[in-house]
């Protein structure tokens, strides 16, 4: 049975790291004293220690200690023995690369199926989907595979942005990129706007937050999902 929070972002404009999610996380991680943090995505190239410190400071406000997976001699055993897990955002290519390099992707999938509470933000949410093909990140490294956790039956496009009316920008929109993806791929994609998250309880996936999300399916018109509804594919 899965128990997951899959968030578009760790930080919304004008707030500190994870602040907007902390009330939800306090309930989600109720009874948890220590959390395993996976800092492999390294936003802006920061070190694992620096990233873990940021997560540690945020979770200290709800009385949860944080330890980075890199602090353990055996990352597989660290995941097996974790009471709760958080995978932070950054570069999805590097995150997936390290999950394969350390041989922990399959064991992470296994423990999530056994009700270990999980939080993912940005890249850490991208890996919850069928594959990582809808990330917005640059391919700074080449992971062995694009296949990820398949904890949910669709992909996430985190930080989803709508076209700006009147903009003179000539580049492709997120919607355009996802339409290109669906020429060659059947996997549905959920455009998850900043400040929104998914709450997963076993096979029930609920959209939460104050914003709608945009669901794309092959050969269908995109639809807007209201906050508080179940995401059904």
**Active-site positions?**
122, 137, 159
Query: Model confidence over 19-34: pLDDT tens digits?
Result: 999 999 999 999 999 9
pLDDT at 167: 73
Is 199 a domain residue?
yes
In total, how many domains does the chain have? Answer: 1
58 is a domain residue: yes
Q: What is the dihedral of CA 126, 27, 32, 14, to 10 degrees?
A: 60
Rounded CA-CA distance 96/82 in Å is: 20
8 in any annotated domain: yes
CB count within 10 Å of CB 206 equals 14
Q: Tell whether 231 is covered by a domain.
A: no
Residue 185 maps to a domain: yes
C-alpha distances in angstroms, 20 versus 2, 40, 119, 194? 23, 23, 14, 11
Q: What is the pLDDT of residue 125?
A: 98
Using a cut of 0.85, tell me whether the model's pTM lies above it. yes
Mean pLDDT of 196-223: 97
Domain that holds residue 162: 3-225
- Residue 63 forms part of a structural domain: yes
Q: Tell me, yes or no, whether 230 lies in a domain.
A: no
Banded model confidence at residue 1, pLDDT cuts 50, 70, 90: confident
Query: Residue 216 belongs to a domain with what CATH number?
Result: 3.40.50.880
Question: Does residue 16 form part of some domain?
Answer: yes
| Residues 118-177: tens digit of each pLDDT | 999 999 999 999 999 999 999 999 999 999 999 999 999 999 998 777 777 766 899 999
């Amino acid at each position: 049975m899965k128990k997951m929070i899959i968030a578009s972002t760790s930080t919304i404009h004008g707030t500190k790291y994870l602040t907007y999610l902390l009330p939800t996380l306090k309930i989600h991680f109720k009874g948890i004293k220590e959390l395993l943090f996976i800092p492999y995505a390294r936003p802006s190239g920061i070190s694992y220690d620096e990233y873990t410190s940021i997560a540690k400071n945020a979770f200290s406000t709800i009385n949860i200690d944080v330890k980075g997976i890199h602090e353990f001699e055996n990352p597989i055993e660290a995941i097996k023995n974790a009471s709760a897990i958080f995978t932070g955002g950054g570069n999805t290519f590097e995150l997936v690369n390290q999950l394969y390099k350390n041989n922990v992707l399959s064991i992470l999938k296994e423990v999530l199926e056994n009700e270990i509470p999980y939080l993912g933000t940005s890249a850490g949410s991208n890996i919850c989907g069928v594959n990582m093909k809808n990330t917005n990140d640059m391919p700074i490294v080449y992971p062995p595979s694009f296949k990820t956790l398949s904890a949910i039956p669709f992909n996430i496009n985190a930080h989803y942005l709508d076209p700006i009316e009147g903009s003179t920008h000539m580049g492709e929109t997120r919607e355009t990129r996802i339409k290109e993806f669906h020429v060659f791929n059947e996997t549905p994609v959920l455009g998850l706007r900043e400040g929104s998250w998914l709450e997963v309880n076993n096979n029930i996936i609920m959209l939460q937050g104050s914003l709608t999300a945009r669901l794309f399916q092959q050969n269908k018109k995109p639809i807007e999902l209201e906050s508080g509804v179940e995401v059904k594919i």
